[in-house]
Structure 1
Amino acid sequence: MIAATQVLGGPKSRQPMQRGRQSFNLQPLRALRAVRRLIADKEDTAQVFEIMRALAGNAIPKGYRRLLSTPEGGRIAYEHDEFAERLSDPVWLAQFGPGTVGAAYRDFIAPRGLSAEGLAEESRKIPESDVDAAHPLAWYARRMRDVHDVWHVLTGYGTDALGEVCVVAFSYAQTRSLGFAVIALAGARQFQKARLGQPYGKAVREAWRNGRSAAWLPAVDYPALFAMPLDEARRTYKVAPNTAYQAIPPQYRDRIAEAA
């Protein structure tokens, strides 16, 4: 845990947030440039954070206030657990037995070479990033960043191009962050341009609807969630099956690259 804290920026190394209200202003031109770069290279994860930063608006402050209004949200915010540190601790992850969310998360990230640390590093690449600031809103932004792959596990979407677009559409319904909406729409358009005869739009719309009908996941106690059986967690938090996504053959879920 000490090593993870040093890498990810522990509490002692965090600096005050440098910007005020202007940090929540929408920057559509900045977002458009980042969208174009992301379409050109879907592996350029830093552009996702650039889009999210440019179009954050008031989603983070509103989300934080909503968290405080939930039964467990006040405690979660008070404890301000840095979830990326837990996710980067192999000993902590190893405690979860077969069938649990924690085990499913391990099985999800290991073969793909994913890590919470890697995602955090990508988020730091954008100019003027305050993501590591010692501020409640920065903590909430880190929390939303760190649960991205957990939402992949809960929703059942893979890391293929379609899976990423779908989990982003799900995330927009959960957070109302305009950046998620723009990425989902841009991705859906690229799939449509591929003209492969697959119901890509249906899969993306289903993901958005599933996000709307699910419980509000930003308020979940994630360490406790990891100990739950995955099927039980999906039932508890009303995460519906992704049937439209599953109906598309795996070999067609990454064909967005041909449309770029």
Structure 2
Amino acid sequence: MIGGARIQLNGWQRTAVALGSAVGALLDPRRADLIAALGETTGQPAFERVLERMKRSPEGRAILTARPRVISTEVGHAWDLPSNTFGAAYARFMGSRNFSPDDRPPVRFMETEELAYVAMRARQVHDFWHTLFALPTNLIGESALKVIEFEQMLLPMCLMSVVGGSARFSDRQRRLFYQHYFPWALKAGVKCTDLMCVYYERHFHEDLEDVRQKWGIIPAPPPKPDGF
């Protein structure tokens, strides 16, 4: 999933892939492969910083050592956990949308195996973050989560996704995002712990509200009855 799919790029090739992926993702935001390629070709410095933070964190080092993968064979037990647990909440999130943890595209353009794993980990914990922050998977919810991801990892792709996503909003969606979700996301992304240094799979059995409190997670508040 990681090493066998990697492609080494020189500078101009990386730029070409980044530009092509950016244009393609703007034209069709559902192309997860293009969004992934954009994140990899523009995000190596950010992933290097994340890697160094993980190495300084006991739980982050445990992740780098064990290299857990968020795939169905590894997280399937979440479906059997008590309903109040983080793992069960994640299972409900995935099941209600007919999502599979196996659907994430492979990492192709990172220079080292270690960076490739960090990039894959960032990609695979995305649905954990949806669960923890209680964000929907519509365009507004994804854009709000990209704000948090940018604050956590400083990935240029996240900022570009917010700009591109908001360009597709209707006037009402734009007001809802910038008046309700955007201010919340700015606060939530700063207040929470370093989310890339959390070994989520070891906390599946814990109460959802307990882990939210432990990690400083502020769930997204529902919009007011009038929408704002």
TM-score by length of 1: 0.75
Deviation readout 1:196-220 (Å, 9 max, x if unpaired): 2742113124213311211011000
The equivalent position to 1:99 in structure 2, one of 53, 59, 84, is 84
Give distance in 1, aligned partners of 2:47 and 2:12.
Answer: 11
Matches for 1:1-260 after TM superposition, within 5 Å? 9=1, 14-15=3-4, 17-19=6-8, 22=11, 29-38=19-28, 42-84=29-71, 86-87=73-74, 89-90=75-76, 92-118=77-103, 120=104, 123-124=105-106, 129-130=108-109, 135-191=113-169, 194-196=170-172, 198-202=175-179, 203-243=181-221, 246-247=222-223
- Which residue identity does 2:24 align to in structure 1? A
Q: How far off is 1:24 after superposition?
A: 11
Distance of aligned partners of 1:217 and 1:153 in 2 relative to their CA distance in 1, 3 Å threshold: same
2:120 counterpart SS class: helix
Q: How far off is 1:145 after superposition?
A: 0.9
Give distance in 2, aligned partners of 1:162 and 1:51.
Answer: 20
Give distance in 1, aligned partners of 2:53 and 2:163.
Answer: 26
Distance of aligned partners of 1:187 and 1:31 in 2 relative to their CA distance in 1, 3 Å threshold: same
Q: How far off is 1:157 after superposition?
A: 0.2
Give distance in 1, aligned partners of 2:218 and 2:82.
Answer: 23
Q: How far off is 1:160 after superposition?
A: 1.4
Answer whether contact 2:22 2:35 (CA < 8 A) is retained. no
- Which residue identity does 2:59 align to in structure 1? E
Give distance in 1, aligned partners of 2:25 and 2:144.
Answer: 16
Give the aligned length.
225
Answer whether contact 2:54 2:61 (CA < 8 A) is retained. yes
Deviation readout 1:24-76 (Å, 9 max, x if unpaired): 966663353134223xxx43323321331332141111111110011222222
- Which residue identity does 1:169 align to in structure 2? V
Give distance in 1, aligned partners of 2:144 and 2:176.
Answer: 12
**RMSD of aligned alpha carbons:** 3.0
Give distance in 2, aligned partners of 1:63 and 1:196.
Answer: 36
1:15 counterpart SS class: helix
TM-score by length of 2: 0.85
Q: Give the share of equivalent positions with the same residue, in percent.
A: 19
Q: Which has the higher contact order (CA 8 A, sep 6+)?
A: 2
- Which residue identity does 1:196 align to in structure 2? R
- Which residue identity does 2:189 align to in structure 1? G
1:60 counterpart SS class: helix
Distance of aligned partners of 1:188 and 1:59 in 2 relative to their CA distance in 1, 3 Å threshold: same
Answer whether contact 1:169 1:205 (CA < 8 A) is retained. no
Distance of aligned partners of 1:233 and 1:247 in 2 relative to their CA distance in 1, 3 Å threshold: same
Deviation readout 1:159-187 (Å, 9 max, x if unpaired): 11111111111111111111011101221
Deviation readout 1:80-106 (Å, 9 max, x if unpaired): 22233555x53x223421111100011
Q: How far off is 1:224 after superposition?
A: 1.6
